[in-house]
Structure 1
Amino acid sequence: MNTLHVKKGDTAVVLSGKEKGKRGKILSVDPKKGMVVLEGINMVKCHTKPRRQGETGGIIEREGALRACKVMRVCPKCDKPTRPAHKLLENGAKATVCKHCGETL
């Protein structure tokens, strides 16, 4: 089982590529392929055919997948991109914390 440093629903910033510096909410994560889909980032055009009678075809714009290594999670408290650190809590549970402000993510 592969694990990623980002989860669905997190806010992330793009580190490299044509969309560098843009922020978006993570819509889906595929740990097996190491890919993530961010809201409003890496828009691709899909040519669709009508499948049923009465349905319209055309060119639809939707979000494309990015490699997970090209995005970094943004801390909700300090609003900075941060590499997640892991910390053991008093009750023995693991928590992911921000490297800048120490807030749990």
Structure 2
Amino acid sequence: MRLRKGDEVMLLAGKNKGKTGKVIATHPRLNKVTVEGLNIVKKHIKPNKQYPQGGIIPITKPIDVSKVGIIDPSSKKPTRIGYKFNAKNEKVRVYKSSGKEIK
């Protein structure tokens, strides 16, 4: 999986198309990422120790990696991720649109 925790991404499809957020968690086996503030659903909870009242709580659900694109800071647009070797012969992630290294 090319995306990592902390990457700034934009949603490319769905009801929140065009919105941005940071990656909170990655799920490589499912090929999904959880993005802060996006794909929020309401979950009905029965009363338990953690939620004594029960009720409806908002939960952030994972989104498929194909539906998000990392934002290139130079153009402020979503782009793809590639890999290159830097001067120290280390494999680093780069933005496909600008060729700059992802920090």
Q: Verify same fold: TM over 0.5.
A: yes
Change (3 A) 1:54 1:20: closer
**Deviation string, structure 1 residues 37-66 (Cα, Å, up to 9, x no partner):** 111111100111121298221100121111
Q: Which runs of 5+ in 2 are unaligned?
A: none
Q: Does the CA-based 8 Å contact 2:80-2:97 persist in structure 1?
A: no
Letter in 1 for 2:57: I
Q: Which runs of 5+ in 1 are unaligned?
A: none
| C-alpha distance in 2 between matches for 1:89 and 1:23 | 29
Aligned to 1:70: 67
Change (3 A) 1:65 1:54: closer
Q: Indicate whether 1:82 and 2:79 are aligned.
A: yes
Q: What is the DSSP-based 3-state SS (H/G/I as helix, E as strand, rest coil) of the residue aligned with 1:37?
A: strand
- C-alpha RMSD of the superposition: 1.8
Higher strand share: 2
TM-score (norm 2): 0.88
TM-score (norm 1): 0.86
Q: Does the CA-based 8 Å contact 1:77-1:103 persist in structure 2?
A: no
| C-alpha distance in 2 between matches for 1:53 and 1:94 | 44
Equivalent pairs, count: 102
Percent identity over paired residues: 37
Q: Does the CA-based 8 Å contact 1:48-1:57 persist in structure 2?
A: yes
Aligned equivalent of 2:55, options 44, 58, 78: 58
Aligned-pair distance for 1:17? 1.4
Aligned to 1:5: 2
Aligned-pair distance for 1:76? 3.2
Which range is displaced more, 26-35 or 70-79?
70-79
Moved over 3 A (4+): none
